[in-house]
A and B are shown apart, each in its own frame.
Chain A
Amino acid sequence: MDFLNAIVALANYVLVPGIAYGSQLALGALGVTLIYGILRFSNFAHGDTMAFGAMVTVLLTWWFQSMGVSLGPLPTALLALPFGVLGCVFMLLATDRAVYRFYREKKAKPVILVIVSMGVMFIMNGIVRFIVGPDDQQFLDGERFLISARTFKEMTGLNEGLAIKSTQAITLVTAIVVVALLFWFLNRTRAGKSMRAYSDNEDLALLSGVNPERVVMLTWIIVAALATIAGVLYGLDKSFKPFTYFQLLLPIFASAIVGGLGNPLGAIAGGFVIAFSEVTITYAWKKVLGYLMPDNLAPDGLVQLLSTDYKFAVSFVILLIVLLFKPTGLFKGQSV
């Protein structure tokens, strides 16, 4: 019984939030890694791209809600999501045409593109705040819990409750579907293969007749979809606030770099590594150990490695360690 209680407590406070957060980071990191692999620069505007896509979705969700459209137990935002993706695609293609293409044609160095992307970041940041405001926005509706802590306790008779929010389940399912689709696209379709070829060796790909503008456009479209989905999932699970997306940039980059920049598989692994280290290192193990250990050995202290204030520091430290010992990341990516 104590053993089960320990597992449930661990699942409730570490596993479930960690998996949901990890999926959100993984989707964000996939976008960053694709841009790095194919367009060859670190896109600092990615966090705000997520915010922009999510914002379009939020606005449409409100519109749908006001018309009485709903998906029953599922959040209406899922219905608005495809339109949010469209809005984000439009935005990114417009930015590419207006900004990035100019530098691409000049064969600008990656570092210049990085700075350019910072400028784009501030502009998008401003646009999002201008349209939807800097405050917290609620757009979640439908069933809130798949299983709530109270019902779980009643069902199992355990001391510990396990809560799974419906948004957490949706996050995981959507992430799996999106990742599967992405890998199918990259490995099985002609367009995907041409993207990978372009990423591996640009000159060779050009010689083989790959149209570079098409590859770039496809990349932006995929990135827009990934960013919007990641942004909406994060917003549904937590809440939509433009500033938090800006803050998300750090763990997302950490995930992409830890996994190996330019390597999609690495981005996913990196997302989970970062999410779980953030959660486990700052988790207080007192409760779990209290169940597992005999009474006389149960800890008095919190058994917390780091106070939760240092959550973001964890991603930094992991980033540094990986860069020092394995500059290409856990999975073989390009070195930074």
Chain B
Amino acid sequence: MKKFLMATAATALMAGSAYAEDVKLGILLGFTGPLESLSPNMAAGAKLAIAEINESGNFMDGQTIATVEGDTGCIDASLAVASAERLITSDGVKGIIGGMCSGETGAVLQNAAIPNGIVMISPSATSPALSTVEDNGLFFRTSPSDARQGQVMADILNERGISEVAVTYTNNDYGKGLADAFEEAFTQSAGTVTLNSAHEDGKADYSAEVGALASAGGEVLVVVGYIDQGGAGVINAALDSGAFDTFMYPDGMVSETLEANFASATEGSFGQHPNAPGDGAERFTEMSKDAGFDSTSAFSAESYDAAALILLAMQAAGSTDPSDYKDKLMDVANAPGEEILPGDLGKALQILKDGGEIDYVGAAAVEFVGNGETAGSYREIEMKDGKMVTVGYR
């Protein structure tokens, strides 16, 4: 009996690829760490796209897609690489949706994705440094680079007539990248950054940091940090000492936690995070309501797009092998072709199957530019009457 079982198992293993078996995708996010309050909604976004494709039954030859999750800890490169290694070698994923934070994403790309030839689409790694990294065409992102966010932040401040700000950033690739990109853009538009200083995450006391920032002065404090970490501590210390009462929140800060803890305390503060207006976003919001998660949470729409793009590219290439489908990502994301919004994935698969072309727009208005990242659109938010409201899109 035992031998028989072993034999069947072995045959099943060898013959596996011939049958319609599950295609596995890795979801590699910071389920623990400084952005842990964002990751559940991101994973839910990615899974929503996968569920939609599974239901349509049009993927490849009726294959279904399964997901495997891996934790990056967001700021823990060694954990991230170990998780990615596990996803690739032991779970055999065909593509990775992740990583989440910029530093860890770079590490995974260099140490796990490129050596194993696996495609990575990051929904949320936004460091400008990742634009120029040598990636063998394997790395994409559905969120725009922070070079663009820095420009958007400068525009927002200029329109609000604010000419002097202090900046504090979390001391890592994301924080430093965005803070520098912003300082460059803002100084070019004749604004002044009085102080651009780092803060370390995970400390209990930020009064010294805030003291220096207060001394430097400025109308607004730009907090390029994480809401679950030092970002919250810096805001608390600044409010306690009365150093600043208006803040600017970039994407790492915008979340439900921010609204719950600081909306009324920092009335009139504002910020932005990657998010797109239009039919795509609206449809995505409706779908997310049915699925029971918050679509306005940062990077949730981008995660949906990342998952959808990988699978559409596989369909277009007619193969789940990363080296085959990596070249198709640009084709499915950009014109020409029929525009695809959230909820149209089944139709898109059918079009690709019939040999047609699609232009994936998705929930976050994806349009890949030369180096595999999106041009990007941002939602501007403001704290009004104790609530976080949308001011507009850029």
Contact = CB atoms under 8 A, between A and B. Distances in A.
B212 A308 contact: yes
B211 A14 contact: yes
A13 B207 contact: yes
B242 A238 contact: no
Contact of B215 (A13, A307, A311): A13
Given A12-B242, A161-B242, A163-B240, A284 B204 contact: no
Contacts of B217: 286-287
A316 interface: no
Contact of A238 (B195, B205, B215, B243): B205
A149 B242 contact: yes
B200 interface: yes
Contacts of A308: 197, 199, 208-209, 212
Contacts of A304: 212, 215
Nearest to A241: B204
Given A163-B240, A309-B198, A234 B204 contact: yes
A153 B207 CA distance: 20
Contacts of B356: none
Contacts of B233: 239
Contacts of B241: 12-13, 17, 149, 161, 163
Interface centre among A149, A234, A247 (most CB of B within 10 A): A149
B171 interface: yes
Interface in A294-313: 302, 304, 307-309, 311
Contacts of A62: none
A243 interface: yes
A288 B214 CA distance: 11
Contacts of B199: 308
B215 A288 contact: yes
Nearest to A168: B240
A183 to B, nearest CB: 28
Nearest to A14: B211
B336 interface: no
Interface string B205-225: 101111110111100000000
B3 interface: no
A285 interface: yes
Interface centre among B171, B198, B203, B208 (most CB of A within 10 A): B208
Interface string B170-199: 010000000000000000000000010111
Given A17-B207, A238-B204, A163 B242 contact: yes
Contact of A285 (B208, B215, B243): B215
Contacts of A163: 240-242
Contacts of A244: 202-204
A135 B207 CA distance: 20
Interface string B235-253: 0000011110000000000
Interface string A141-158: 000010011101100000
A13 to B, nearest CB: 4
Interface stretch (A170-178, A196-204, A215-223, A275-283): A275-283
Given A149-B242, A150-B242, A282 B212 contact: yes
Nearest to B212: A284
Contact of A311 (B197, B208, B210, B240): B208
A113 B364 CA distance: 60
A308 B140 CA distance: 36
A256 B195 CA distance: 35
A149 B238 CA distance: 11
Instruction: Say what secondary structure dominates the interface of chain A.
Output: helix
Interface string A43-80: 00000000000000000000000000000000000000
B330 to A, nearest CB: 41
Nearest to A149: B242
B218 to A, nearest CB: 12
B208 A283 contact: yes
Contacts of A12: 241-242
A182 to B, nearest CB: 25
A36 interface: no
A24 to B, nearest CB: 10
A165 B240 CA distance: 8
B314 to A, nearest CB: 39
Contacts of A288: 215
Interface in B139-177: 171
Contact of B208 (A153, A241, A278, A286): A278
A263 B80 CA distance: 47
A253 interface: no
A272 interface: no
A21 interface: yes
A234 B242 CA distance: 21
A233 to B, nearest CB: 12
B207 A302 contact: no
Contacts of A145: 240
Interface centre among A17, A247, A282 (most CB of B within 10 A): A17
Contacts of B198: 307, 309
A65 B116 CA distance: 54
A9 B214 CA distance: 10
Nearest to A307: B197
The 6 lowest CB-CB distance pairs between A and B, nearest first, are A149-B242, A13-B211, A238-B204, A161-B242, A284-B215, A244-B204
Given A283-B212, A284-B211, 10 more contacts: A14-B211, A150-B242, A153-B242, A247-B203, A282-B212, A283-B208, A284-B212, A285-B215, A308-B199, A308-B212
Interface of A: 9, 12-14, 17, 21, 145, 148-150, 152-153, 161, 163, 165, 234, 238-239, 241, 243-244, 247, 278-279, 282-288, 302, 304, 307-309, 311
18 contacts: A12-B241, A13-B211, A13-B215, A13-B241, A161-B241, A163-B241, A241-B202, A241-B204, A243-B202, A279-B211, A282-B212, A283-B208, A284-B212, A285-B215, A302-B215, A304-B212, A304-B215, A307-B198
